[in-house]
Amino acid sequence: MRLSTKSRYGLRALFDIAYNGNGTPAQIQDISRRQEISPRYLEQIFQNLKKAGILKSKRGPQGGYALAKKPEQITVLEIIKATEQDLLMVDCAGEGKKRRRKNECPFEGNCVTQTVWKDANDLLSELFGSMTLQTLCERGQDMGVKKEQDHRFMYYI
C-alpha cells in the first residue's frame, strides 16, 4: 500500500497544529512554511479534514485552523480515512461497501491470499487506530523537534 501525499501532508500539518498551536488557531502560511507544503494544497487537504470533524477554522485577523478535538482524541487512522478513499492494500481485501466490485476476482471466497491482505489491513488499521496526534507530539518532543513561538503576538518595547 502506498499512501498519497494528502494523508502524509495532512498528518504532518495536523501534527504541526497540535505541536505548535498553543491553543490558538494556526495560520496556513505558517504551517506551509514549517512543513514545506504548498498553501493551496494544504487548503484542499484541510477541506477533507474539516468535513471529517477533525479540523475547524476561524476567519479574521486572529483566525486560522485549529483541531476540533484534543490531540489525544484524534487517531492517525481517522486522519488517513479522511484523506484517502480507503485503506485497502488490494481491492479484494475490503468488506461490504469498502470492496470495489469493478474488478471482481474469479477466486472470490476461494483464495487463500485474500486472507493475507485482509489480515494486513486489519493490522495496519489497529496500528494507526492506536496512534494519536498526542503520541506524535510526545515523539516530537523526544526527538527534539523545536517548537515555534507564535510570532503574531510578539511585542517589543
CATH number, residue 93: 1.10.10.10
CA 81, CA 85: separation in Å to the nearest integer? 7
Answer whether residue 14 is part of any domain. yes
Total domains in the fold of the chain:
1
30 forms bridges with which residues in the sheet? none
pLDDT for position 133: 97
In this predicted structure, the answer to whether residue 147 has a pLDDT above a threshold of 80 is yes
Closest to 23 measured CA to CA, from 65, 78, 79: 65
In this predicted structure, the answer to whether residue 150 has a pLDDT above a threshold of 70 is no
Q: How confident is the model at residue 91 (pLDDT cuts 50, 70, 90)?
A: confident
In this predicted structure, the answer to whether residue 55 has a pLDDT above a threshold of 60 is yes
- Read off the pTM: 0.84
Least confident of 11-20, 48-57, 89-98, 116-125: 89-98
Answer whether residue 25 is part of any domain. yes
Amino acid at the residue 95: E
56 forms bridges with which residues in the sheet? 66
Answer whether residue 132 is part of any domain. yes
CA 3, CA 11: separation in Å to the nearest integer? 11
Answer whether residue 124 is part of any domain. yes
By CB neighbour count within 10 A (0-12 exposed, 13-18 middle, 19+ buried), where does 26 fall? buried
Task: Give the three cell numbers for residue 81.
Answer: 480515512
Q: How confident is the model at residue 86 (pLDDT cuts 50, 70, 90)?
A: confident
For the chain, the average pLDDT equals 87
pLDDT for position 128: 95
Over residues 41-45, mean pLDDT: 97
Answer whether residue 154 is part of any domain. no
Answer whether residue 47 is part of any domain. yes
Answer whether residue 153 is part of any domain. no
Answer whether residue 156 is part of any domain. no
Q: Which residues constitute the domain of residue 12? A: 5-147
Give residue 75's region: left, alpha or beta (phi > 0; psi -120 to 50): beta
pLDDT for position 152: 55
Handedness of CA 141, 146, 152, 153 (dihedral sign): positive
pLDDT for position 102: 55
Amino acid at the residue 125: S
The distance from CA 83 to its chain's CA centroid, rounded to whole angstroms, is: 7
Q: How confident is the model at residue 82 (pLDDT cuts 50, 70, 90)?
A: very high
Does 84 or 99 have the greater pLDDT score? Answer: 84
pLDDT for position 70: 95
CA 73, CA 149: separation in Å to the nearest integer? 24
In this predicted structure, the answer to whether residue 46 has a pLDDT above a threshold of 60 is yes
